[in-house]
Amino acid sequence: MSERPRAMETSPSGSFEDMLGIVEGLDTPAGYKAELIRGKIVVSPWSKLRYKRVMKALRLQLEPHAPEGHDVDVAPFLFTFAGSERGYGPYLHVADETAFEAEGRHADGAALSLAAELTSDSTKDVDWLDKMATYGQIVPVYLLLDMRVGEINVMWDPSPKGYRSRTNVPFGRPVRIPAPFDFELDTSGFGVPEEQNAEDEQR
C-alpha cells in the first residue's frame, strides 16, 4: 500500500453511525489507520519509523503537565466529532481517561485536551484544513508538527469558528504550550536530518 492516504467511497445515504461501523470493522494492515474525513473513509499509514523518537519526546514532556485524570498516549484510537461527522486518529492524544471506559471502539472527541499531528506532504491538506477546523471547535490545544518544514504550530482557544490563537517556531526553539498544560516545550530533538527530508521530496 502506498504511503499516500487512500479514500474509500461510502454510500452517500449512509449515516454517520453507519460509516463509523464500517471504519471500526475494517481489517487495516498493521501500521495503518482508518479515519472518517469529509464523508469518506481514509486509510493512511500510522507513522514513519523515524517519527517514533519525536512522538516519544513529545509524550514524555506532556505527561507531567497533563490535566488531572488525563492520559497521554500515541495509540491509534479513533476520536469522533458527531457535530461535524468526523472521526480522527491523532498521532498523539491527551484525553480524559473516563472516555476509555465506554463500550465500543471509538471515543468522544470532547474528551480531548490536546491532539497532535505530525504532517507530511501526503497529509498536510487534511491536517491543516479539515482537522484544524474540527479540532478548533472543541479541542483546547492542537499541535501540528510540520516534519518537512521543521516547525511546530501551536493552536489554542477553540471557538465555533475555529482556533482564535496560534503561534509557531522552528524545531530547536522552545515554545509555550498554553493552558491547561502551561509549560515550555523543548523542541530541540524534533528535527529530521536533511538527507531524510531530501528523500521525502523525491518520493
Render pLDDT for 46-103 as a digit per residue (tens, 0 to 9). 667 788 899 999 999 999 999 999 999 997 788 999 888 899 999 999 999 999 987 7
Whether residue 85 contacts residue 36, with contact meaning beta carbons closer than 8 Å, is answered with yes
In this prediction, residue 191 has a pLDDT band, given cuts at 50, 70 and 90, of confident
In this prediction, residue 25 has a pLDDT band, given cuts at 50, 70 and 90, of confident
pLDDT score at 202: 45
Average pLDDT over residues 131-159: 96
pLDDT score at 146: 94
Extract the runs of DSSP E, i.e. beta strands, from 4-101: 6-8, 32-37, 40-45, 70-73, 78-81, 86-88, 92-96
Whether residue 23 contacts residue 36, with contact meaning beta carbons closer than 8 Å, is answered with yes
Whether residue 106 contacts residue 81, with contact meaning beta carbons closer than 8 Å, is answered with no
Among residues of the chain, what percentage have pLDDT more than 90? 55
Average pLDDT over residues 6-16: 51
Predicted confidence (pLDDT) per residue in 92-142, tens digit: 999 999 999 877 778 999 999 999 999 877 778 899 999 999 999 999 999
Q: Does pLDDT of 197 surpass 60?
A: no
Q: Does pLDDT of 193 surpass 70?
A: no
pLDDT score at 192: 64
Average pLDDT, the chain: 84
pLDDT score at 55: 93
Query: DSSP 3-state helix, strand, coil percentages of the chain (rounded to 5)?
Result: 30, 35, 40
Q: Does pLDDT of 9 surpass 60?
A: no
DSSP helix/strand/coil, 96: strand
Which is higher by pLDDT, 35 or 63?
63
